[in-house]
Amino acid sequence: MYLSNREMMIKELQNAVALYPDYQVRVTGHSLGGALATIAAMDIHDNLGIENVHTITFASPRVGNHDFAQQWNDRLAESSMRFVHENDIVPHIPFPQLGYEHVGYEMWETQGEVKACSVISEDFSCSWAIPSDEWRVQDHFTYLNVQLHGCNAFNESSVLEY
């Protein structure tokens, strides 16, 4: 999926960086889009040589193995945020037991507040502390009080709310 759009994205990004060399490049996405944003950020940083890459993901699943996560964190963790809402199931998959590991710092939205987690990758004092029997699909569809329109299978009449 990423590779099918990569060439166009890189061309447009190179044009934008040429016009605005002092601007930050921000890569963002929700769910699968968050996983793709993670891959894109590393690609942009490593293969285009753009140092000023910032990544913000919402509900991203784990993307790569330990080596990928370590390389990503060495390059991009300080300029990234990975949001998890309450007990969202998606950020907990695929499982670490299969060799997958999160990248960056988690920002855990819980009980109406956002907690900045202090450990890169898996912080056991944040969402990873939630037992698997408490993970919820419905928490996947609201982030930072924004209900994602058209995504909520539990409420067909949902609308985008701020």
Q: Give the residue numbers annotated as catalytic, written as ranges.
A: 31, 88, 140
Beta bridge partners of 54: 26
Question: Looking at 60-112, which runs of residues are DSSP E strands?
Answer: 80-85, 105-110
CA atoms within 13 A on the CB side of 135: 16
Instruction: Determine whether 78 is exposed, middle or buried from the number of CB atoms within 10 Å of its CB (0-12, 13-18, 19+).
Output: exposed
Which tokens go with 92? 């907990």
Q: What is the CA radius of gyration of the chain?
A: 16
C-alpha to C-alpha distances, 71 to 76, 97, 128, 133, 157, nearest whole angstrom: 9, 20, 22, 32, 42
> Residue 143 belongs to what H/E stretch?
strand 142-143
